[in-house]
């Protein structure tokens, strides 16, 4: 067994024998050999390039981390100046940032839930926390004074996960393709009052951005940008969501061809359903699980993380990284799946260093000892799949098979 199997398997936290078996089956099916060796060599080459660009000669994990974070902080400060010093609590200053995101992502129109239908769904299932916090007795009274999209955005951070995923999701069971229409993707900055209400009522801390994929809406929560990395977080999240919303709009368009199965398939992707792992039958077929969310955020030892799979989230982040590197973050170009183990400064073992942009942004912003790694690991699984099957048509394959839950590679 070559060193490449050990190197890549160690990064992915899997048994090298599993990777070797997968390579054997995929080689038999596709006729492509040396894929893992090529990925390992490419990984090392790109690390060498990045370290040379940062003038790193002492290859210790903490030194590399510090250099990556410093470079990101410098780029973040430059972006802050270039984008007109945006402050999320002052919506008028955010326009250049949003405009830049749209110019980079160039999103198309999508198929999204009609506002009239969204209103009906709120009437069927009034949001209890929002109604109580704002003092409304019924939905019509609320929507006479509040904007529909703002209310829908607030559902994400003011209502419980159980209410969202069980109670409210039942209203989606009656949806049909006729309840959707073609619109532009909309990005809004919520008024400060929503953040104040949410913090007072729910006592939660929030991310700066989130989205409503079925409505084609990205919303920005007006949290003050006052720390290094936060502007990069906002911009890359905006780009990520612009790509993700387009992805799911294509899915809605595809599901709309069958009105009978439409609502259940829609509910499945809104919940983020992930199937169970499918294993390879030697030299006959290989099933690659489709993991449409980051399982590691909920359970870093979820068994599905340790079998061969692909992740559409990593595709959206790859696009966002490619788009944002045009604004001074060029170091991270093509580094989404790149990472390796380096010696600890104090000795006694190695540490995994991710060169992925998003992992490093999260590490910078969170200000903890935790080093984020899972974006790089998921991107590496995608890189292994495309090493055999190619980049062309990869996203379309996932779209065509997401409802099934896996990609089946046949002989």
What pLDDT, in 10s, does the model give residues 65-106? Answer: 999 999 999 999 999 999 999 988 888 899 999 999 999 999
Average pLDDT over residues 125-146: 95
Inform me whether the pLDDT recorded for 220 exceeds 60.
yes
pLDDT greater at residue 107 or residue 364: 107
The residue assigned the tokens 């009034």 is 126
Region 135-163: mean pLDDT is 94
> What is the mean predicted confidence (pLDDT) over 170-193?
95
* Residue 281 pLDDT greater than 60, yes or no: no
**Using an 8 Å Cβ cutoff, are 15 and 9 in contact?**
yes
Q: Summarize pLDDT for 348-377 with one digit per residue, the tens.
A: 789 999 999 999 998 888 766 667 899 999
DSSP category for residue 281: B
Mean pLDDT of the residues in the chain: 91
Q: Which residues pair with 289 in a beta bridge?
A: 309, 406
C-alpha 384/C-alpha 34 separation (Å) is 11
pLDDT category, 279, cuts 50, 70, 90? Answer: very low
CA 238 to chain centroid: 11
Cβ-count burial 183-214 (b if 16+ within 10 Å, e if not): bebebbbbeeebbebbeebbeeebebbbbbbb
- CA-to-CA dists, residue 229 to 77, 124, 334, 337, 363, angstroms: 8, 41, 20, 21, 9
Checking if the pLDDT of 205 tops 60, the result is no
Structure confidence by residue, pLDDT tens digits, 308-326: 999 999 999 999 999 998 8
Distances (CA, A) of 389 to 11, 35, 311, 380: 21, 11, 15, 14
Taking only Cα atoms into account, the Rg of the chain, rounded to an integer number of angstroms, comes to: 22
Neighbours of 91 (CB within 10 A): 17
The reported pLDDT for the residue numbered 183 is: 96
Q: Check whether 202 has a pLDDT greater than 60.
A: no
Residues 219, 153: Cα–Cα separation, whole Å: 7
Are 387 and 264 spatial neighbours (Cβ–Cβ below 8 Å)? Answer: no
pTM: 0.94
């Amino acid at each position: 067994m070559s060193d490449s199997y050990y190197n890549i398997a160690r990064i992915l936290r899997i048994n090298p024998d599993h990777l070797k078996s997968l390579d054997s089956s995929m080689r038999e099916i596709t006729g492509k050999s040396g894929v893992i060796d090529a990925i390992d060599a490419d990984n090392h080459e790109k690390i060498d390039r990045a370290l040379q660009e940062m003038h790193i000669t002492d290859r210790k994990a903490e030194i590399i981390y510090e250099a990556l974070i410093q470079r990101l902080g410098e780029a973040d400060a430059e972006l802050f100046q270039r984008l007109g010093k945006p402050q999320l609590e002052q919506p008028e200053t955010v326009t250049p940032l949003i405009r830049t995101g749209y110019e980079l992502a160039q999103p198309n129109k999508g198929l999204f839930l009609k506002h009239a239908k969204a209103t009906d769904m709120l009437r069927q299932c009034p949001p209890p926390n929002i109604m109580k916090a704002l003092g409304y007795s019924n939905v019509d009274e609320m929507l006479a004074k509040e904007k529909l999209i703002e209310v829908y955005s607030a559902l994400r951070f003011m209502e419980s996960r159980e209410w969202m995923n069980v109670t409210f999701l039942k209203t989606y069971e009656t949806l049909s393709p006729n309840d959707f229409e073609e619109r532009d993707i909309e990005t809004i900055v919520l008024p400060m009052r929503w953040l104040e209400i949410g913090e007072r009522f729910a006592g939660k801390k929030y991310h700066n951005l989130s989205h409503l994929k079925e409505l084609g809406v990205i919303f920005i929560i007006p949290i003050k940008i006052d720390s290094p990395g936060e502007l990069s977080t906002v911009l890359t999240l905006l780009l990520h969501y612009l790509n993700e919303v387009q992805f799911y709009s294509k899915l809605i368009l595809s599901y709309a061809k069958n009105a009978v199965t439409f609502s259940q398939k829609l509910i499945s992707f809104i919940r983020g359903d992930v199937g169970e792992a499918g294993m390879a039958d030697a030299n006959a077929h290989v099933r690659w699980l489709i993991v449409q969310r980051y399982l590691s955020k909920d359970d870093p030892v979820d068994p599905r993380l340790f079998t061969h799979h692909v992740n559409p989230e990593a595709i959206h982040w790859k696009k966002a990284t490619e788009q944002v590197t045009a604004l001074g973050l060029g170091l991270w170009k093509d580094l989404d799946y790149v990472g390796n183990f380096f010696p600890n400064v104090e000795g006694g073992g190695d540490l995994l260093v991710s060169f992925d942009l998003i992992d490093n942004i999260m590490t910078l912003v969170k200000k903890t000892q935790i080093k984020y790694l899972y974006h790089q690991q998921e991107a590496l699984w995608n890189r292994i799949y495309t090493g055999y099957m190619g980049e062309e048509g990869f996203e379309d394959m996932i779209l065509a098979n997401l409802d099934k839950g896996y990609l089946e590679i046949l002989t």
